[in-house]
Structure 1
Amino acid sequence: MFRQSTFRTVLIALTLFLGTYFTLPTILGPDSMKKIADVLPSALVPTKSVKLGLDLQGGVHVMLEADKVGLMRDLVRQLQEDVRRVLRTERVAPTGGIVAQQRGVSLRVPDTAQRAKVLPKLQELATPVANAVIGNTGQRSLEVVDLGDGLIQLAVTDAEINERVRRATDQSIEIFRKRIDPDGVKEPSIQRQGLERIVVQVPGAKNSKEITDVLQPGKLEFRMVAEPGAAPNEIETLQYREEEGGGAIQVERRVLVQGEDLTSAEPGFDQRTSEPVVNFRFNVKGAQAFAKVTTENVGKPFAIILDNKVISAPRIISPITQGQGQISGRFTVEAANKLSILLRSGALPASFTLVEERTVGPGLGRDSIAAATVASAVSAGAIAVFTLATYGVLGGIALVALALNVVLIFACMSLIGSTLTLPGIAGIVLTMAVAVDSNVLIYERIREEQMAGRSAISALDAGFTRALATVLDANITGFLAHAILYFVGSGPVKGFAVTTCIGIATTIFTAFTLTRVMVAFWYKTFKPKVVPI
């Protein structure tokens, strides 16, 4: 009765040791851990620590919104190309060409036989809309309608637009992470908010400009400069970058090679002029396309375009078949370095507009830490006074379990790379109350069993055994509620939910399993006739 197996005791001790071990970087700081690493093998020294959020150490907060109109425009342009390819394959020439509309395209095929031949092929362009979470949604990407009088309309569906926006937002998150933290040392928080918004938080950053500078699309294209007499619907007018003196130039709409075919982009210096440049290299596909273009257009100018701004329009002197080249354009060293980062990380699948931007000073973060420390200390003190006054020795055991509970919370947060925010601290304080509440349930049950005439050891055993169901029920219910908060919430709500969920999980371990072992050890040592409760 009320005995603890050696295996369970060793397992609990090992858990507490590992918890303390993984909390060391958070408690001691990076400088102390470096000194320890000089003595011990680096593989044995933990490095992950709990990161402080924007509200605790200051930094930059930026909210971005995907440009649905621009994304829709790209979808329509791609749809035009797909329809043109189908018509070319079926040898059908529409009257009046392929007309772009706000959400699709339309074309007129007066001949009934040709329309009957091409309509099934156009309907094949309507593919199922697939979602990363639920798979096939049962909806189609396009609505293909024969409006009569030879007019065929292809319209992009709402399901396809929403899925494209969601996919573009998710892809952009990883691209932003590569651009903002190319070396992996800034540890920014980048999360999707809703369908089309992204929140970027960079703790410790002092200037929002260094963040917003890398949020431009970074879409690199190579197009031919339009020749005189080219069809108006096949060309467009683009502006030169301001650094190039401004002005406009007409280029073909057809993109010959895209930046997505780049394998590397590094800043460097021109060997002749010593000006900063960006040296790039294509993959096999890009190298073949670039070689084909430069071979077929020797003597003609082609435009290097970044985010719809022309960097330069050099003339092709000779075929470029090595799959590498150089971008020059009156860059500064800093501008060349930023451009190389943009190109290496890849182009954004959609443009983003700045919705919100603010900088939080470190002074405010220090004030938040000070206030949170005071609040936590007062809460811990109140809990300690109540527990000791009500339960005496067993209350002291509960406080030791509570302290170890906080250690395990920080250990888990370190392992998963969680960020500690002000709402997160509130979650930890709430967890302390929940942990003590679990001990109260157990101790009150022990008191009831003792008042019913049971011996000390029998009351202890019955108290822990019979209170377990209530403790589990209360904590599992709380865990599920905060898990829902995590999945449907965002920003500070997520931080609160994470720490509370971790705290509830560790509470079940410390309030029941650990406390039971410590109470058993106390009883074995002192063998009281009556539980002092």
Structure 2
Amino acid sequence: MKTKGKGKSIILFILCVAGIAFLAFAGFHGLVIGSGANQWEFKSFEKSITKGLDLQGGVTVTMEIQSDKAVAKSDLDKTKEMISLRVNKAGVAETVVTTEGNKRIRVDIPGQYDSKSIVDSLSKTGELSFKDPSGNVLLTGKDVTKASVGNDPNTGQVIIELEFNESGKKKFADATAKLIGQKISIYMDQDELTSPTVQNAIIDGKAQITGNRTVEEATKTASIINAGALPMPVKAVSTQTVGAQLGANALPNALKAGAVGIAIIFLFMILYYRGPGLIACLGLTLFISLVLFTFVGVGVTLTLPGIAALLLTIGMAVDANVLMFERIREELRTGKSVKTAVKAGFHNAMSSIIDSNLTTIISSLVLYFFGSGPVKGFALTLLIGVVLSMFTAIVVVRALMNLAVNMGLLNKPVAFRVKRG
């Protein structure tokens, strides 16, 4: 039975190591499977993670809604959607549009350096229009009272519901009566939002736009229509330009610094803790890979402060491993067996690990909800890193240590640099 358990532990340990190695390789180098039409590409972190302006250069513009009264959150979100549509219409990749405070909207546009033309474009109020197939304007945003998202009671399909004011009601009734079976296209400036086909004349001032769209797509379209119906004047209050050369130099330098730091950490852990240190390095490799995969999944924009936060969390992950290993060594010095010492060491280190990481999580949440721009990015990166470092230390490293003990790789106190008389 003991031999069978040892064999199972060896198999599981090898599978875990192979899985970690595969994730790290695929993430850092990418992977291409198949060829031609059947080709499937697993993009590397370099290609899939959005980089901030400080890493690739571009323009940051902070727009402020010009209003003496407090701006409602719904109006701020509508204006953000309108600006987002305008800035993305040229196909600029990786543009980030976020709200700051109650009146401001921050726009990060990588790879663009003509700040004047960008500011002029973003400062336009925007014009919503309804056009017939010939391009003639039938209604404008001033004729729309409200756009909302709902569900068709018969099909359950997501729909956009429109309500028009008195002038819009008459215009829309005349237009739909003439254009039955034809399309009425809705535009924001020159960008087409949707082109529904008129099914019948609509005389009550309430219309439904059907079609195969998700709730998110319908909500975005409705928000832009509302933004056109309630234009919010904006003004650029801050413009920053990061040169291409500065951005191009920043990323390689940051990566080199990170690689050197991680290499030193790995070397220290292996030399000082030997076998357990090697297992800690496996856990840290998985941790770094999981953090970067999470960045891709949640759409984190990586900046220099974000890289700093990532390196900080790597240090915290190492700290958790050091706490666990030192507790294990203390237990071994009392004369306990390796298996018992490992179990007790992890248990005793748990409260210290959770306490130290919990304070960092609280700090990250405060920075995220009350900070803005780079501070918010730093906080999000730090929060993701801390949570995943706890997972890898408490779950992954612990499991690998137990497997190593069961398979006989760490079955003597000397493997932990503990000598007994």
Same-fold call, TM > 0.5? yes
Partner of 1:218: 126
Say whether 1:204 aligns with 2:124. Answer: no
Say whether 1:174 aligns with 2:173. Answer: no
Q: 1:451 aligns with which of 324, 333, 336?
A: 333
Distance 1:477 1:369 in 2: 30
Partner of 2:315: 433
| Offset at residue 382 of structure 1 (A) | 3.0
Say whether 1:27 aligns with 2:28. Answer: yes
CA spacing shift, 1:13–1:218, aligned 2, 3 Å: farther
Runs of 5+ unmatched residues, structure 1? 70-160, 223-255, 263-282, 295-319, 327-336
Partner of 1:58: 57
**Greater share of helix residues, 1 or 2?**
2
Give yes or no for contact 1:23–1:411 (8 Å, CA) kept in 2. no
Give yes or no for contact 2:82–2:126 (8 Å, CA) kept in 1. no
Q: Which stretch of the first structure deviates more once superposed, 375-384 or 454-463?
A: 375-384
| Offset at residue 11 of structure 1 (A) | 12
Which amino acid in structure 2 is aligned with residue 426 of structure 1?
A
Distance 1:179 1:19 in 2: 43
Q: 1:501 aligns with which of 366, 373, 383?
A: 383
CA spacing shift, 1:362–1:17, aligned 2, 3 Å: farther
Give structure 1 regions of 4+ aligned residues with deviation exceeding 6 angstroms: 9-16, 291-294, 323-326
Partner of 2:273: 391
Give yes or no for contact 2:50–2:300 (8 Å, CA) kept in 1. yes
| Offset at residue 486 of structure 1 (A) | 1.0
Partner of 1:525: 408
Distance 2:334 2:324 in 1: 15
Partner of 1:341: 191
Partner of 1:365: 247
Distance 2:170 2:14 in 1: 63
Partner of 1:110: none
Which amino acid in structure 1 is aligned with residue 65 of structure 2?
A
The Cα offsets for residues 119-142 of structure 1, whole Å up to 9 and x where unpaired, read as xxxxxxxxxxxxxxxxxxxxxxxx
The Cα offsets for residues 225-279 of structure 1, whole Å up to 9 and x where unpaired, read as xxxxxxxxxxxxxxxxxxxxxxxxxxxxxxx9532658xxxxxxxxxxxxxxxxx
Give yes or no for contact 1:19–1:411 (8 Å, CA) kept in 2. no
Give yes or no for contact 2:13–2:400 (8 Å, CA) kept in 1. no
Q: Structure 2 length normalisation: TM-score?
A: 0.70
Give yes or no for contact 2:129–2:188 (8 Å, CA) kept in 1. no
Identity between Structure 1 and Structure 2 (%): 33
Q: CA RMSD in A?
A: 4.1
Give yes or no for contact 1:291–1:321 (8 Å, CA) kept in 2. no
Say whether 1:289 aligns with 2:155. Answer: no
Q: 2:362 aligns with which of 476, 480, 486?
A: 480
- Equivalent pairs counted in the alignment come to 346
Which amino acid in structure 1 is aligned with residue 398 of structure 2?
R
Distance 2:18 2:378 in 1: 24
- Give the SS at the match of 1:442: helix
Q: 1:193 aligns with which of 95, 100, 105?
A: 100
Give yes or no for contact 1:445–1:463 (8 Å, CA) kept in 2. yes
Partner of 2:67: 68
Matches within 5 A, 1:78-97: none
CA spacing shift, 1:292–1:427, aligned 2, 3 Å: closer
Distance 2:329 2:20 in 1: 34
CA spacing shift, 1:291–1:489, aligned 2, 3 Å: closer
- Give the SS at the match of 2:125: coil
| Offset at residue 455 of structure 1 (A) | 1.7
Give yes or no for contact 1:287–1:322 (8 Å, CA) kept in 2. no
Give yes or no for contact 1:456–1:529 (8 Å, CA) kept in 2. yes
Partner of 1:329: none
Which amino acid in structure 1 is aligned with residue 97 of structure 2?
I
Give yes or no for contact 2:323–2:349 (8 Å, CA) kept in 1. yes
| Offset at residue 401 of structure 1 (A) | 1.1
Matches within 5 A, 1:102-501: 161-162=69-70, 164-182=71-89, 186-209=93-116, 211-215=118-122, 216-219=124-127, 258-259=140-141, 289-290=170-171, 322=179, 339-341=189-191, 346=225, 347=228, 349-501=231-383
Is the radius of gyration larger for structure 1 or structure 2?
Answer: 1
Partner of 1:49: 48
Give yes or no for contact 1:191–1:200 (8 Å, CA) kept in 2. yes
| Offset at residue 167 of structure 1 (A) | 2.8
Runs of 5+ unmatched residues, structure 2? 131-137, 145-161, 195-223
CA spacing shift, 1:396–1:170, aligned 2, 3 Å: same
- Give the SS at the match of 1:177: helix
Distance 1:20 1:195 in 2: 45
Distance 1:204 1:338 in 2: 25
Which amino acid in structure 2 is aligned with residue 517 of structure 1?
A
Distance 2:239 2:15 in 1: 47
Give yes or no for contact 1:60–1:208 (8 Å, CA) kept in 2. yes
Which amino acid in structure 1 is aligned with residue 88 of structure 2?
D
| Offset at residue 489 of structure 1 (A) | 0.9
- Give the SS at the match of 1:61: strand
CA spacing shift, 1:10–1:486, aligned 2, 3 Å: farther
Distance 1:354 1:342 in 2: 26
Which amino acid in structure 1 is aligned with residue 416 of structure 2?
P
Q: Which stretch of the first structure deviates more once superposed, 465-474 or 416-425?
A: 465-474
Distance 2:107 2:252 in 1: 25
The Cα offsets for residues 302-359 of structure 1, whole Å up to 9 and x where unpaired, read as xxxxxxxxxxxxxxxxxx9559999xxxxxxxxxx99413988542631001111232
Which amino acid in structure 2 is aligned with residue 354 of structure 1?
A
